[in-house]
Structure 1
Amino acid sequence: MTPPLCLLFDSDGTLVDSEILLAEVMGEILPAFGLPFSARQYMEEFRGVRFKTIIEALEARHGALVDGRFPVMEDEMRGLMERRMRAELQPIAGMPAALDALSAHPKAVVSNGPEPKIRCAMESTGLAPHFGDNLFSAYTLQVWKPDPDLYRQAAAAMGQAPERCVVIDDATVGVAAGLAAGMHVVHLNHFPEEEATPEGAIAIRHASELPAVVARLADSA
């Protein structure tokens, strides 16, 4: 019997509904450090993008931070984000049931966020048992989406060939990374009226659609 496909999930916006929390936290913290920013700007322009890359883009527009202020700002942002996650974070609608239905598949979380944030998200929402220690952080591996090597390294650590992996990601940077890695890609598109699903990826609008899509991919693999 062919082994089940390996499922590689993004975290923010895919497994957990953290994007608006992060947008609000950044909209609060960044202006205090002299970088104009709003929650809406994060959602429209920077969703899923590495924090340092966002700051570099804002510095190019508004001027550089004072030397030594980036680590302070990042620490404040991470601390406030963790407090809000532990108090408010919820799984993406339909995702717990989808994960239950996909229990036979090996799974991992592959995120542009730091590992403590990934663990906090999984623990806060009760999703941790689905993944165990299969948590792959760009900060640990030192490669960030849209670089496909983040997904490739996660697949290798899981003992899986790229063609036996399914990436599930809501952000365009993650979808691009999965496609470039030579994997099946499911785009959980929360904004289909505003965001097109790249060619080669499968679009879904709700997590409840995921088990059927994975079953079709398994049949055709």
Structure 2
Amino acid sequence: MPPVLCLLFDSDGTLVDSEILLAEVMGEILPSFGLPFSARQYMEEFRGVRFQTIIEALESRHGALVDGRFPVMENAMRGRMETRMRAELLPIDGMPDALAALAGHPKAVVSNGPAQKILCAMQSSGLAHHFGNNLYSAYALGVWKPDPGLYLKAAEGMGYPAQRCVAIDDAAVGVAAGLAAGMQVIHLNRFPEEEMTPEGAIAITHPGELPGAIAALARGAA
């Protein structure tokens, strides 16, 4: 039998269709704190990037926030985002069926977001039962994609070597992290007309392709 692979999923844009919600919330909140920003800008430039890194980039362009305003802004953004996720969040089209087809593989969520956001996303989208408590947050572990350390710490927590793990991610920072971690990487490229899949990663454009891609990787690892 082909070996069981450990599947490490990004959350935003991979499992759940949260990125447009996040883009809209940031487009509402950040300008009110003096940082010009739009939803389109998030989607085109900052998908999957750590919130603090986005703010630092904007401050370098538009001037620094007043001291003490960052946590106020972040709390406002997180609160509004959770409200919208609980009311509107859906899984990525085709992902529930793909996860069901992959029931024989251990799975975890590995995200640059806070633990509460990951948990809210899984609960709101109806995907929580696929992952249980296997939720790995960059905020909890102190390392953010594209640093490979986040995926490596998740692999360690799941009890699998990197070579037996598959990182599944839609964003450039996540694909880079998985490749640097020495894992097999599947790039869920939902914008193939606009984005290239880096060398070394496997490109798919829809979750329906995921079970076949995992089966092929398992055969190759046998």
Q: TM-score range by the shorter chain?
A: over 0.9
Separation (CA, whole Å) in 1 of partners of 2:164 and 2:54 = 32
Q: Residue 31 of structure 2 aligns to a residue in which SS? A: helix
Q: Residue 92 of structure 2 aligns with which residue? A: 92
Mapped pair 1:186 → 2:197? no
Query: Paired residue for 2:27?
Result: 27
Percent of pairs with identical residues:
78
SS in 2 for 1:203: strand
Give the counterpart letter for 1:51 in structure 2. Answer: F
* 1:59 maps to amino acid: E
1:186-208 Cα shifts (integer Å, max 9, x gaps): 00001111110000000000000
1:132 equivalent in alignment to 2:114: no
Quick one: distance in 1 between partners of 2:32 and 2:185? Answer: 38
CA distance in 2, matches of 1:55, 1:196: 26
Whole-angstrom CA distance in 1 between matches of 2:157 and 2:122:
20
Other-structure match for 2:216: 216
Residue 64 of structure 1: how far off its partner (Å): 0.2
TM-score of the pair, normalised by structure 2: 0.99
- Residue identity in the other structure for 1:173: V
Q: Matches of 1:195 and 1:51 in 2, distance apart?
A: 22
Amino acid at match of 1:119: L
Question: Where do 4+ consecutive residues of structure 1 move more than 4 Å?
Answer: none
1:73-152 correspondence to structure 2 within 5 Å: 73-152=73-152
Distance in 2 of aligned mates of 1:59 and 1:30: 11
Q: Deviations over 1:120-178 (max 9, x none)?
A: 00000110000000000000000000000100000001000001000000000000000
Instruction: Tell me the CA shift for residue 2 of structure 1.
Output: 5.2
Distance in 2, matches of 1:176 and 1:44, equals 17
Gaps of 5+ in 2: none
Contact in 1 for aligned 2:6/2:106 (Cα 8 Å): yes
Name 1:14's counterpart in structure 2: 14
How many angstroms does 1:20 deviate by? 0.2
Q: CA deviation at 1:3?
A: 3.8
Measure, in 2, the Cα distance between the counterparts of 1:121 and 1:3. Answer: 30
Superposed CA RMSD in Å reads 0.6
Aligned equivalents of 2:193 and 2:98: distance in 1?
Answer: 24
User: 1:42 aligns to what?
Assistant: 42
Question: TM-score if structure 1 supplies the norm length?
Answer: 0.99
- Give the conservation status (yes or no) of the 8 Å contact 2:114–2:138: yes
Return the letter of the residue paired with 1:5: L
**How many pairs align?**
221
- Alignment partners' CA distance in 2, 1:149 and 1:125: 27
State whether residues 8 and 107 of structure 2, in contact with CA within 8 Å, keep that contact through their aligned partners in structure 1: yes
Q: Give the AA of the match of 1:169.
A: D
* Cα distance per residue 1:98-129 (max 9 Å; x no partner): 00000000000000000000000000011000
SS of residue in 1 equivalent to 2:12: coil
Structure 1 unmatched ranges of 5 or more: none
